[in-house]
Amino acid sequence: IYRSADQGVTFSQKVALIGGGSLARSTPHEVTVSREAPDTLYLAAAEGLFRTTTAGDRWFRLPLPAKDVLSVSVHPKNSQILLAAVISDAQNGRGKILKSLTGGTSWAEVFTAPAGEQLQGTIIQRRRETPTIVTTLAHDPLQPEVVLAGTNQGTLLGSGDGGIRWTTLFSVREGITGIKFSTTVPDLLFIRLASGRLLRSADGGRSADQVLLGREPGASFDAPLGTAQDGSAVHAVAFLRSAAADQERVLAGTENGLLKSEDGGMNWAPLPLPPTGGTTHIPVRTLAESADGTLWAGSGSVISISKDGGLTWRSSEAPLRRTLRFVLTDPVRAERLYAFFEP
């Protein structure tokens, strides 16, 4: 975990744990920053859930009744309200959703995923229970009590009361790995699937169409994989905060580069990125936008920066020669940037 206070020119490592220890070897699943309290970050990792209120200078391990935390979402209007997707320590390993009203110091279980079943065997087939895991959580920034959750079995869950009661919105044939809400257009969101396919919903997740970037939208979920113009997987989606509400701009990072939409994800066009290591196709695995509109794209161990909406890019020196997991920006301070790397 590294932080820059000068928009990526220099970085310093921020892994110290309160009480001793370090996060240097942690395996990050997801990281989020509170818009209401920009110095407060939450890191969901295989080793647990960690919080900092000092912009990373010191981290604190939050007490949870589970170790592996896959996702964490902060209430858009109250940084003390959290939802965490965890894997139960019980033998069945089912997914659970926990809620905290105290910034993570105490928790209540609000959802336990039902058991799934799978046929096994060739001659004699038996049904065997398979664990259902909640893989991702997201609050709607425009409707803070609306929360969506996705599972490894392909079920999209929805709650309209802050995560207390949950209903199934729809199911697809592969796991859901990411949910990204628009920050300006009500009910608009993207859902990323395990294969890299992308779904677009304009009604808050009640229904969705597969996005075939560069082709006509509206294909069924069973359509052949064709997530980008060249068929590559989508790794990251970012709604640009600097965009006007009537012209929503979206970026999609794919296995072979970067795409941009000016109409909320209906039509897409490729954007250039600087070559890396002599290659022309660069997998873009993480995207972010600073408060001043500066764009960031993480490709391997390289951080790319654009000051003109993605038309031109330059490479910023990354602090490590390891694979970037996330690039995260401060929602208020344009000069502050975080880089999270694979262990």
Using DSSP bridges, classify how beta strands 269-271 and 324-329 pair: parallel, antiparallel or unpaired. unpaired
* CA distance linking residue 130 with residue 222, whole number of Å: 23
Mean pLDDT rounded to a whole number for the chain: 86
Q: How confident is the model at residue 281 (pLDDT cuts 50, 70, 90)?
A: low
pLDDT for res 318: 82
Lowest mean per-residue pLDDT among 53-67, 95-109, 144-158, 246-260: 246-260
Q: Is the pLDDT of residue 221 over 50?
A: no
Position 115 pLDDT exceeds 90: no
State yes or no: pLDDT of 154 exceeds 90. Answer: yes
Q: How far apart are CA 28 and CA 15, in angstroms?
A: 12
The predicted pLDDT at position 267 comes to 86
pLDDT (tens digit per residue) in 155-211: 999 999 999 999 999 999 899 999 999 988 999 999 999 999 999 999 999 999 988
Length of the chain: 343
Give percent of the chain above pLDDT 90. Answer: 62
> Quick one: DSSP state of residue 338?
E
Dist. CA 297–CA 279, nearest whole Å: 16
* Mean pLDDT score, 138-156: 95
pLDDT > 70? residue 120: no
Q: What percent of the chain has pLDDT over 70?
A: 86
Q: What is the pLDDT of residue 226?
A: 39
The predicted-structure confidence for 34-85, as pLDDT tens digits, reads as follows: 888 999 999 999 999 999 999 999 999 999 988 899 999 999 999 899 999 9
Buried/exposed code over 201-212 (b: 16+ C-beta within 10 A; e: otherwise): bbebbeebbbbb
Q: pTM for the complete prediction?
A: 0.88
The answer to whether 297 and 336 are in contact (CB under 8 A) is no
pLDDT at 130 > cutoff 70: yes
- According to the model, what pLDDT value does residue 176 have? 96
